[in-house]
Amino acid sequence: MAGVMYTLKEHRLEPKTLRLVHSRVAEEPRYVLVHAVKGAKEFLRVLPPLVLYDADGGETQEMKRIYNK
Q: What is the pTM of this model?
A: 0.85
CA distance 59 to 61: 7
* 50 Cβ neighbours under 8 A, 6+ residues apart: 19, 20, 21, 22, 33, 62, 63
Q: Of 52, 15, 14, which is closest to residue 30 (Cα–Cα)? A: 52
* Residue 2 DSSP class: H
Structure confidence at residue 69 (pLDDT): 77
* pLDDT string in tens for the chain (69-residue length): 899 999 999 999 999 999 999 999 999 999 999 999 999 999 999 999 999 999 999 999 999 999 987
Residue 51: phi and psi, rounded to 5, are -105, 125
